[in-house]
Homo-oligomer: A and B are copies of this chain.
Amino acid sequence: MTELNMLEAINESLHAEMERDDRVVVLGEDVARTGGVFRATEGLFEKFGERRVVDTPLSEGAIVGASVGLAVAGLVPVAELQFLGFAYQAMHQIAGQVARLRYRTQSRFESAITIRAPFGGGVRTPELHSDSLEGQLANVPGLKIVVPATAADAKGLLASSIRDPDPVMFLEPLRGYRGIRGDVPDGEHLVPLGSARTARPGDDVVVIAWSHQVELACRASDHLAEEGLAVRVLDLRSLVPLDLTAIAEAVDSCGRVVVAEESPQTGGFGGEVVATVVEESFWSLEAPVVRVSGFDVPYPVGMVEDRYIPDEDRIAAAVRRVLDVA
């Protein structure tokens, strides 16, 4: 075990996977010579050379589109989008091509592509640098959507994502890069895709969350513990595949549910989680499920963003709310 922040864990995982499998190539804007604008790819260029670690022109569509061709050639591309908001520039390739390469060719080709991108707010970025698009991406069949919340999971889920023969959107919480630290297993560490994690135990209420909201939900849980409340936190870890069993188990145990996400409320993945809860465990519900989310406006500018992102107080308020209800 070594204590690392998420960035270090991601970097370590990239090094290990490139070492392990020489079909892995890394491409994106500023990923090679300068090691990425956040240094996630630091050292790869020096270690694996300019054939396998490539600074591309500034074209998200071409980065993702070329990754499809690399996959057809039998390589394992790990593409970086500098910010998830610029996935929009490549959406025709992500949703129309990456997600469907296996389906279109009826398994002649695997789409063993991993697309990494930071997302989420809290660090006062300009427009489109903090947007949470995971709900939109989750509606694209063929993609897997992986959203780690801890440093150890960042390492273990990234390794699994790169090894997965299916395409993965690997979404990294911008605020967690340096803000989330934790013990990370040394050496090979794999976390399977599609299995949720209980981040805090408890049977009074369950808060279902992913990515940086897990951290905030845990803080809320810790505070509420002082009031004698046992608030479970379920970290989904991947939205697709979704761990239906874990959701059902948590809801059946707790009976009261809060879903926390950063995205605008309308059309966010939170709605999918609520629908899943209703499908899996309607008869266990003792109160309406409450969503805590961003607002139905674009992710806003720095002076007001703290009002936009759900914080531990808003999560705690929602927990109290589902408990207040008859």
Number of copies of this protein chain within its complex = 2
Give residues of chain A (136-164) contacting chain B, Cβ–Cβ below 8 Å.
Answer: 136-142
**A142, B298: Cβ atoms under 8 Å?**
yes
**A92, B95: Cβ atoms under 8 Å?**
no
Closest B residue, CB atoms, query A283? B288
Q: Is A282 an interface residue (CB 8 A)?
A: yes
**A297, B103: Cβ atoms under 8 Å?**
yes
Q: Is A313 an interface residue (CB 8 A)?
A: no
Query: Which of the four size classes fits the interface of chain A?
Result: 35 or more
Q: Quick one: which of A88, A242, A273, A282 has the most chain B CB within 10 A?
A: A88
Give residues of chain A (93-145) contacting chain B, Cβ–Cβ below 8 Å.
Answer: 95-96, 99-100, 103-104, 127-128, 133, 135-142
Q: Is A246 an interface residue (CB 8 A)?
A: no
Q: Is A240 an interface residue (CB 8 A)?
A: yes
In the complex, how many angstroms separate the beta carbon of A38 from the nearest chain B beta carbon?
A: 21
Known A-B contacts A104-B127, A139-B266; the reply to A288 vs B279 at CB < 8 A is yes
**A135, B267: Cβ atoms under 8 Å?**
yes
Q: Is A91 an interface residue (CB 8 A)?
A: yes
Chain B residues within 8 Å of A283, by CB: 288
Q: Is A85 an interface residue (CB 8 A)?
A: yes
Q: Quick one: which of A127, A263, A278 has the most chain B CB within 10 A?
A: A278
Chain B residues within 8 Å of A290, by CB: 279
Give residues of chain A (253-304) contacting chain B, Cβ–Cβ below 8 Å.
Answer: 263-264, 266-276, 278-279, 282-283, 285, 287-291, 295-298
Closest B residue, CB atoms, query A85? B96
Q: Is A89 an interface residue (CB 8 A)?
A: yes
Which one of B91, B139, B263, B291 contacts A268 once the chains associate, using CB atoms below 8 Å?
B139
